[in-house]
Amino acid sequence: MIDLKLLEKDFENVAKKLSLKGVDSGLLEKIKKLFEEKKELLKKIESLQAKRNTLSKEIGKFMKEGKKEEAEDLKQQVASIKKEIEELNKKLKEIDEELHKNALIIPNIPDDDVPVGKDEEDNVEIKRIGEIPKFDFEPKSHDELGEKLGWLDFQRGVKLAKSRFTVMKKDAARLERALINFFLEHNREWGFEEVWVPLMVNKETMTGTGQLPKFEEDLFKIEDEDLYMIPTAEVPLTNLFRDEIIQDLSKPIKLTAYTPCFRKEAGSYGRDTKGIIRQHQFDKVELVAITRPEDSDKMLEEMVECASSALEKLGLPYRQVMLCTGDLGFSAAKTIDLEVWIPSQNRYREISSVSNTRDFQARRAKIRYKDGKKNRLAHTLNGSSLAVGRTLVAIMENYQKADGSIEIPEALKKYL
C-alpha cells in the first residue's frame, strides 16, 4: 500500500508518478477531496476542543465564585460541544476508512530510474546472454514436439479440467520434476532457505501482497471458504512475516519455494492458446527476500543474478529487460525481467520477473523490523527462479534435433 501521508504531503508529484502506471485520475481526485475533507474536519475538531477547554476553565471559575446558574449554562454548552466532536470524529473515522479502502487499489509508485512507457514495447533491454541456436532444419514448436513424442497430452488435459490445462507424460514429467529439484538446489547454493508452504491462503494473506482486492477476478476462490488458490509462492512466503516485528534484520531473510500456481488468466483471452506457455495451473520456483531499506537495491541485483545463473547453467539464451512504468506490476517499484529465446516464435519470452516492492507490501502486511528502539517497515522483493513449464518449453525448442528428439542439458542429467 502506498504511503498516504506521502501522497497527501506531495500530492501533485506522487499523482504524476502514479499516472505513469495508468492510475485513473478520477480516483486520485477522489482521494484528494477526501484529504481536504479530513483537513477541514480536523480543524473543526481542534477549534471545538479549544473552545471546550476554555469553557471548562470558566465553569471552574464560576463554581468557585458560587455562580452555579452560569456554571450550569456553560456545562450544557460543553456537553453540546462534546456531542458535536463525537459526530465529527465519527465522520473522520469514515473518511479514514474510505482512504484506506482506496489506497488498497492504488499501485506502488515507480522508482525514479524506471523508464517511462505505456506497455512492453517500451521496456528497455539491458543485455543479451548466450548464443541463439542456428538450425539446419525448420525447428518445431514445443507443442508439436510434445505431441509427437507423447510428452504433452492437451486433449486429456481438457477432458480432466478445461482448456489451458495439460497432462505431461514420459520424459516431460521427469524433466518437470528434474527442473524443480535443479532450481531449488541452485537457489540453496545462493543462500536461499527452502520452505514448503500451503497452496491455499486466506483473504488477509492475499491482501498483504496486493492480489486483493484489485485482482480477485484472476484468482481461484474456494467456494464457501475464506481460501484462495495461490497465484505464486510469493504470497505465502512474504506473508510468513505478516503482523510481525523481525528482531534482527542485519542480514536479509532469503527464502525459496516450489509450488504449483493457479491463475484464471482473465486478461489473456486469445493469447498463447497453443502449448503450455500460459496455463491455469503451472509450476514455479520462487525467490523472496525481506531486507532493510538500505539493502533492497543490492538484493534485487543478487536475485537477478541468481535467476540468470540458473538459465546460464542450462545453456539457454536469454536477455535481461527493465520494465517501463506502464508494464510494471501492481506491487512493483522496479522490475527486471528475464526473457528466454523461443525458436518457434523467433522472439524472447518472459521466464522470470524479479521485483523490488520497497515498503509497499510491508505496509499492507505490517511487516516491520527492529531498528534500535524504533520499528520500521521492511522492504520485500520477489522473483521467479524460474517458471518451470516455460523452462521446459525453452529446453524442448532450443535443444531439439532434426529427428524430433531432444537433448538434455548437462546440468539436468544428474536428476534423470
Q: Which residues are identified as catalytic?
A: 263, 278, 350, 353, 390
Q: Is the Cβ–Cβ distance between 132 and 317 less than 8 Å? A: yes
Cell numbers that stand for 329 in this block: 506490476
Measured from the Cβ of residue 238, the count of other Cβ atoms closer than 10 Å reads 30
Q: Amino acid identity, residue 345?
A: Q
* Burial of 184 (C-beta count, 10 Å sphere; 0-12/13-18/19+): middle
Using alpha carbons only, give the angle 248, 302, 238 rounded to the nearest 5 degrees.
50
CA nearest neighbour of 311 among 142, 123, 128 = 128
Measured from the Cβ of residue 51, the count of other Cβ atoms closer than 10 Å reads 15
Q: Is the Cβ–Cβ distance between 233 and 288 less than 8 Å? A: yes
Cell numbers that stand for 229 in this block: 488458490
Q: For residues 305 and 386, what is the distance between their CA atoms, to the nearest angstrom?
A: 12
Quote the DSSP letter at residue 400: B
Q: Is the Cβ–Cβ distance between 141 and 276 less than 8 Å? A: no
